[in-house]
Amino acid sequence: MAAELGAGMRIFRDILRRADKNDDGKLSFDEFKAYFADGVLSGEELHELFHTIDTHNTDNLDTEELCEYFSQHLGEYENVLSVLEELNITILKAMDKTKKDYQEASNLEQFVTRFLLKETLNQLQSLQASLECAMETTEEQTRQERQGPTKPEVLSVQWPGKRSARRLQRNNSLSPSNPQFNTGWIEEESQWMTQISRLQKLIDRLEKKDLKLEPFEEEVLEENARSHIMIVQRQMSVIEEEIEEFRLALKQYVESASAQSGCLHVSIQKLPNDSRFIIYEFWENSNIWNSHLQMNYSKTFQRSNVDFLEAPELITTMLVPASWWVLNNN
């Protein structure tokens, strides 16, 4: 099958390899859902899509079926994927040559190599930023169109190169008659309310004042002052048998993250009687947080979580005034 894949379609062989968690060469519905869920399509819609792609009626998907389905919908992206395949091959060849020639090169030649590597990376990151912006825009537009008055909103962004997703869940008002009103939702709501209550107490303590129904006062920032910091909450449900291995990976991640100049604080909580961990990270700004995600230690942690987590981790981010952090640390 590999030899039959046309230009632009080889990506689906890589997709199957990444999504195929048990390495049996095919995708079950659970594997398909874990990889393709985007937080917009419902479980029923994903199930219907899975059986639409499964033209062989085996309750599993192979590369041929993925190619057959998506080739009908690629449009201009067929050219994009084809160019990306060529780019990937070209970059790998350049890396291989760099590895062989760099040590024997002169100082000037080594400088040029480092410069070209940096600029290549800058170009790729700029392209990635544009794609991420387009992704978030289309997802937000679809969510707004589909959002109902009692439907919980689930935001999901697939991180490049791995199955872990970033999700933010907002629970709207639920009633006992709503099918989503069950024990799981009650527990989740209770945990969120606990976190919200803690955050409110922190804010009250930082402001050091009672609630007053008076006109607000604007905070005038000094020139070049740091306006906001990024607070990140990461919830991870770990497979019971993998907890010790996860702890080791988490320890290495926290040590590396804490050593970064833009990291203000990292703390970890483990929920009682549960294999769920919550990581709180405070970063100087969102740009530093985004750069942190591209660091090797962060990517290594993300990749390891594919095997350690029962489900994609939930990430919630919040910008708060930097002055609050200053007050809290005085």
Could you report the per-residue pLDDT of 163-208, keeping only the tens digit for each?
333 333 333 333 444 444 444 444 444 555 555 555 656 655 554 5
Residue 257 lies in a domain: yes
Element (H, E) at 165: strand 165-170
pLDDT at 155: 38
pLDDT band for position 161 (cuts 50, 70, 90): very low
pLDDT at 178: 44
pLDDT of 220 > 80? The answer is no
pLDDT band for position 214 (cuts 50, 70, 90): very low
pLDDT at 185: 41
Which of 77, 106, 135 marks a domain boundary? 77
pLDDT at 248: 92
pLDDT at 249: 92
Q: State whether 73 and 96 are in the same domain.
A: no
Which residues does 270 contact at the CB level (< 8 Å), separation at least 6? 276, 277, 278
Residue 216 lies in a domain: no
- Give every strand in the sheet of 153-158, ordered side by side: 153-158, 165-170, 314-321, 228-237, 276-283, 263-270
Q: What is the mean pLDDT of residues 24-46?
A: 87
Between residues 182 and 17, the one the model is more confident about: 17
Q: State whether 68 and 98 are in the same domain.
A: no
Counting every residue written for the chain, the total comes to 330
pLDDT at 221: 53
Residue 220 lies in a domain: no
Q: What is the mean pLDDT of residues 2-27?
A: 77
pLDDT of 85 > 70? The answer is yes
pLDDT at 1: 39
Q: Which domain holds residue 62?
A: 9-77
Q: State whether 105 and 52 are in the same domain.
A: no
- Strand runs (DSSP E) across 177-330, as ranges? 228-237, 263-270, 276-283, 314-321
pLDDT at 51: 92
Residue 248 lies in a domain: yes
Identify the top-confidence range among 50-59, 76-85, 152-161, 265-274. Answer: 50-59
Residue 263 lies in a domain: yes
Decide if 133 contacts 140 (C-beta within 8 A): no
Query: What pTM value is reported for the model?
Result: 0.40
Residue 174 lies in a domain: no
Here the CATH number for the domain that contains residue 250 is: 3.30.70.100
Residue 87 lies in a domain: no
pLDDT at 190: 53
Long-range contacts from 285-294, C-beta under 8 angstroms, 24+ separation: 285/226, 285/228, 285/229, 285/230, 286/230, 286/317, 286/319, 288/230, 288/260, 288/262, 288/263, 289/230, 289/232, 289/262, 289/317, 291/262, 292/257, 292/260, 292/262, 292/263, 293/159, 294/125
User: Which one-letter DSSP state was computed for residue 42?
Assistant: -
261-308, pLDDT tens digit by residue?
889 889 898 877 778 899 999 998 888 888 898 899 999 998 888 888
Number of domains in the chain: 3
114-153, pLDDT tens digit by residue?
888 888 888 888 788 778 777 777 877 777 777 654 344 3
Identify the top-confidence range among 6-20, 47-61, 142-156, 192-206. Answer: 47-61
Residue 175 lies in a domain: no
